[in-house]
Chains A and B, each alone.
Chain A
Amino acid sequence: MEIDRLTAAGPTAVSIALKVNGVERRLEVPPSVTLLDLLRERLDLTGSKKGCDQGQCGACTVLVNGRRVNACLQLAVMNDGAEITTIEGVGQPGALHPLQEAFIAHDAFQCGYCTPGQICSAIGMMNEGHAKTEAEIRELMSGNLCRCGAYGNIVDAIEDVMGRSAFKEAAE
């Protein structure tokens, strides 16, 4: 009954501006739409995955103003004015991000479902700058589950990139 009443009342869409992977977008969004659904269903950016839709797996990890968050728990309207980076904005075929190359080189995935979230999360972790040891990488990447259990190689790939001075300089 409650739902009928609200639908009848017509929850109004809100006008928001987002910069997604460098492209400015103006969108009309109902308040209940999550950032993840907006990216996947409206903007056709299906790289970010919906694993659980509850903040429990990390497959939906994107960067909002450079910080990693779970897009499934973000209301799109609350991100008005934000810069969003998804895996599609991280690298392109032929111009891969060092982490994407390292994931391939280290065989850091099997099915690949968790991979976009893993890579966005690893970029966020490197921006944060708190992981120095393997144990710290494992702990600070624990918000990204991998059902295929590729953890060992994922950690190797991240350590490889973090250890490369070229990346360190580029990040500065």
Chain B
Amino acid sequence: MMNFSYTRAETVAEAIAAVAGDPAARFIAGGTNLVDLMKYDVMKPERLVDITRLPLREIEATDAGGLRIGALVPNSDLAYDARVQRDYPLLASAILAGASAQLRNAATTGGNLLQRTRCYYFYDVATPCNKREPGSGCAAKTGVNRVNAILGTSEACIATHPSDMCVALAALEATVHVEGPNGPRVLPFAEFHRLPGDAPQHDNTLAHGEMVVAVELPAPRFGRNHTYLKLRDRLSYAFALVSVAAALEMDGEGIAEARIALGGVAHKPWRVPDGEAVLKGKPATPDSFGAAADVILAGAKGYGGNDFKIELARRAIVRALAQAAAGEPQVQSDKTVN
């Protein structure tokens, strides 16, 4: 690991000023992603600004009937919070499907949003990678790309965003509260992460020095008909090949509203409102689910090693919607898929 200087921030304003004023500075929270990447020289900040002492650890009720989650709330505390377990079980389930108990204890809400891709070549500094080294090329497109994206890819990059939590936050239409050198702003979740385009070095729409201070959940919905279905190479402690967060508002036997977000398939949690709209007013049958999946996956493209993801994603969407409609969410400890 390259050496760096270390500053412990006492206030949000101080932390923002310290990073905004130094292009080689970075925030550090749980460290579970950044320390790893620094060990490989994938990221080489010259200064770390420790934000873990900032007062961003509360989960508070909002006037709108939702919850405001401080950026430093650990992933495990969020998943086991009684209000989250009761009102946002989809979010709790997605968090518990990710990483390990130790990692979730250290990882923070803000850090989870900003974790970087697990593309093998991004980690391997001996290979070309436009995300790590803009302009150097993309080794994954013709290389081992089993874990890479099938949707929203570009000539420059086919990486995925690896988070499970973010897939649920996308489906629940959370918002992200940001503070920065130019003041605060609030972003819809769909506008937080971005597609790679010709600038894959940017995972999201934050400017340098901007800090996530909170994630806000709208008033609870979809308490009964939801699931987080995660498919991976082993039963636990592995990133998603494909995951689906599904939430339904039922109207008798029919579907009144659907939310479907996919993980493991794109540079951001993948949502297609037109695909969700297909289900409106339709019976909860495999045919309806398949029709929605076709729209969601339209234009999906494999790169060889990840061709299987297209059919896997289709089946995962159908299965997840069936689980959600039946009110039988995937259990994250017993991995039998119903």
Contacts and interface: CB of A to CB of B under 8 A. Distances in A.
Interface of A: 2-3, 6-7, 11-12, 14, 30-32, 34, 53-55, 58, 61, 67-70, 73-75, 77-78, 80, 121, 124-125, 128, 130, 133, 135-136, 138-145
Most chain A beta carbons < 10 A, residue from B48, B103, B235: B103
A84 to B, nearest CB: 14
Contacts of A142: 100-101, 235-237
A139 B39 contact: no
Contacts of B8: 80
A75 B106 CA distance: 12
A56 to B, nearest CB: 8
B333 A54 contact: no
Given A74-B31, A125-B101, A11 B236 contact: no
A152 to B, nearest CB: 15
Given A74-B106, A143-B99, 11 more contacts: A31-B6, A34-B35, A54-B39, A69-B105, A69-B106, A70-B103, A75-B6, A124-B102, A135-B333, A142-B100, A142-B236
Contacts of A144: 100
Nearest to A30: B3
Most chain B beta carbons < 10 A, residue from A32, A53, A61: A32
Q: Bin chain B's interface residue count.
A: 20 to 34
Contact of B52 (A61, A78, A121): A78
Most chain A beta carbons < 10 A, residue from B35, B101, B235, B236: B101
B5 A139 contact: no
B32 interface: yes
A11 B5 contact: yes
B3 A31 contact: yes
Interface in B229-263: 235-237
A136 B4 CA distance: 40
Contacts of A14: 6
Given A32-B3, A139-B332, A142-B237, A75 B35 contact: yes
A143 B4 contact: no
Given A11-B5, A78-B50, A139 B105 contact: no
A58 B101 CA distance: 10
B35 A61 contact: no
A136 B333 contact: yes
A70 B39 contact: no
Contacts of A61: 102
A114 to B, nearest CB: 13
A84 B101 CA distance: 17
Which are the 7 A-B pairs with shortest beta-carbon distances? A143-B100, A142-B236, A31-B6, A139-B333, A11-B3, A142-B237, A135-B333
Most chain A beta carbons < 10 A, residue from B6, B52, B100, B237: B100
Contacts of B48: 31, 75
25 contacts: A3-B2, A6-B4, A11-B5, A30-B3, A31-B5, A31-B48, A32-B4, A34-B35, A55-B103, A61-B102, A67-B105, A68-B102, A69-B102, A70-B106, A73-B36, A73-B103, A74-B106, A75-B6, A75-B28, A75-B48, A78-B52, A124-B105, A133-B333, A136-B333, A141-B101
